[in-house]
């Protein structure tokens, strides 16, 4: 027996030899690849749709330390795509639910929960504790923050995003390849790219893109194969067509030396702390407050600005339907003297509708901040079929 053969499984305990047997026998992987995974520390940003398959596969393959950062709790509407969680996890912190599932899958993995939102105050310090960052964020503000913090700290990022039937995956290597700002030099206008809550997403796409991200992580951590550095893969799940685009660093993209002071502001998103007269003119109702005002002797007009296909699935009883895109043409169907409460799926379109109606001279306006999904979560009555118009 040669020395190489004698040491081929050195430092791999019997339990790991058995657990990881199918990957250990892969050509070029072996004990060396497994030790690299065991020694690796990976931070997963978001324990939601993309984070779910990423976390499960990283844990299953034996990544030694997995950090999870997320400040959200599990909701029933998450479960069709966030497969790491279960019905029993509803109301539980996503980090805790995910950590419990990981330990059940592979007790050899060390899980670190960061139950907080990634922000400019914690990103740099957090990234310095990990070798690789998996970006499963669902907002451009967080994606830019991840990209910039990774460049400042010299960390590689495996990035994925998705909406409806489309997904994207790439790998960003600071200072050696194109990054997020080469794909998106400027953030899109607020509301231009809908969230999954507004635009929807096919759950199987989430699994495909998440598994692809995990596959890239294996290659980055073990130096096996060729990563997507310098390329972005796009999937149209409706036709199942993959497209690979070559990326080149923009000559106008400068290396990041520091973070933006406020990524919400950088992406044009107003926050409640801003001194904006426009911000203060928007009254936001909770589900409980809306339920109360609808019981009044003279309840407000309840305006649903979602699309007809969404309305037909379910809507709040007694509401009127004018899609946001038709509001300018159909505003005269509403009476300016009436009190109007606007709602959409998650509160994004309804806020835009309130701003637009304000510009048109309507004065008694508010919107349901939690959207129709909040109404559903509260298990309040709904109607199905088409709504009328005023």
Catalytic residues: 196, 344
CA distances from 340 to 110, 327, 356 (A): 52, 14, 13
Q: In what order do the strands lie in the sheet with 231-236?
A: 110-114, 65-69, 41-45, 132-135, 156-163, 166-172, 231-236, 241-246
- 186 contact partners, CB below 8 Å, separation of at least 6: none
Q: In what order do the strands lie in the sheet with 301-304?
A: 283-285, 365-368, 340-343, 301-304, 320-321
Burial class (CB in 10 A: 0-12, 13-18, 19+), 268: middle
| Cα distance between residue 50 and residue 214, in whole Å | 10
Q: What is the distance between the terminal CA atoms of the chain, rounded to a whole angstrom?
A: 85
* Phi, psi of 216, rounded to the nearest 5 degrees: -65, -35
- CA within 13 Å, CB half, 189: 2
Burial class (CB in 10 A: 0-12, 13-18, 19+), 384: exposed
| Cα distance between residue 353 and residue 147, in whole Å | 32
3-state secondary structure of 111: strand
| Cα distance between residue 103 and residue 111, in whole Å | 8
3-state secondary structure of 39: helix
Written as one string, the DSSP assignment of 242-296 is EEEEE----TTPPPP-S--S-HHHHTT---TTS--HHHHT-EEE-HHHHHHHTTS
Q: What does the radius of gyration of the chain's CA atoms come to, in whole angstroms?
A: 24
């Amino acid at each position: 027996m040669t020395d190489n053969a004698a040491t081929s499984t050195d430092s791999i305990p019997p339990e790991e030899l058995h657990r990881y047997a199918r990957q250990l026998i892969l050509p070029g992987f072996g004990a060396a690849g497994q030790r690299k995974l065991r020694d690796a520390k990976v931070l997963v940003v978001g324990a939601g749709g993309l984070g779910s398959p990423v976390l499960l596969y990283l844990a299953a393959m034996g990544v030694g330390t997995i950090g999870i950062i997320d400040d959200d709790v599990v909701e029933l509407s998450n479960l069709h795509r966030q497969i790491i969680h279960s019905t029993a996890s509803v109301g539980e912190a996503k980090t805790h639910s995910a950590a419990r599932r990981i330990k059940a899958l592979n007790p050899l993995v060390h899980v670190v929960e960061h139950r907080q939102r990634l922000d400019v105050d914690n990103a740099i310090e957090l990234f310095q504790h990990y070798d690789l960052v998996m970006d499963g964020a669902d907002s451009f503000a967080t994606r830019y923050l991840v990209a910039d913090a990774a460049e400042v700290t010299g960390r590689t990022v495996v990035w994925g995003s998705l909406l409806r039937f489309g997904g994207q995956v790439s790998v960003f290597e600071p200072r050696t390849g194109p990054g997020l700002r080469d794909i998106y030099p400027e953030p899109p206008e607020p509301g231009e790219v809908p969230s999954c809550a507004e635009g929807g997403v096919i759950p199987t796409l989430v699994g495909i893109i998440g598994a692809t991200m995990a596959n890239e992580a294996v290659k980055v951590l073990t130096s096996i194969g060729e990563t997507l550095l310098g390329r972005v893969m796009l999937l149209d799940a409706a036709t199942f067509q993959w497209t690979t685009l070559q990326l080149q660093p923009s000559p106008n993209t400068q290396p990041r030396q520091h973070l933006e002071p406020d990524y919400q502001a950088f992406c044009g998103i107003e926050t409640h702390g801003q001194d904006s007269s426009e911000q203060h003119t928007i009254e936001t109702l909770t589900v409980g407050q809306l339920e109360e005002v609808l019981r009044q002797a003279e309840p407000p007009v309840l305006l649903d600005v979602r699309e007809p296909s969404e309305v037909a699935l379910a809507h709040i009883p007694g509401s009127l339907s004018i899609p946001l895109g038709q509001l300018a043409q159909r505003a005269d169907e509403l009476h300016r003297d009436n009190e109007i409460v606007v709602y959409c799926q998650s509160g994004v379109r309804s806020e835009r509708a309130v701003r637009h109606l304000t510009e048109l001279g309507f004065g008694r306006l508010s919107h349901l901040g939690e959207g129709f999904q909040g109404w559903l979560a509260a298990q309040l009555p709904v109607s199905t079929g088409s709504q009328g118009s005023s």
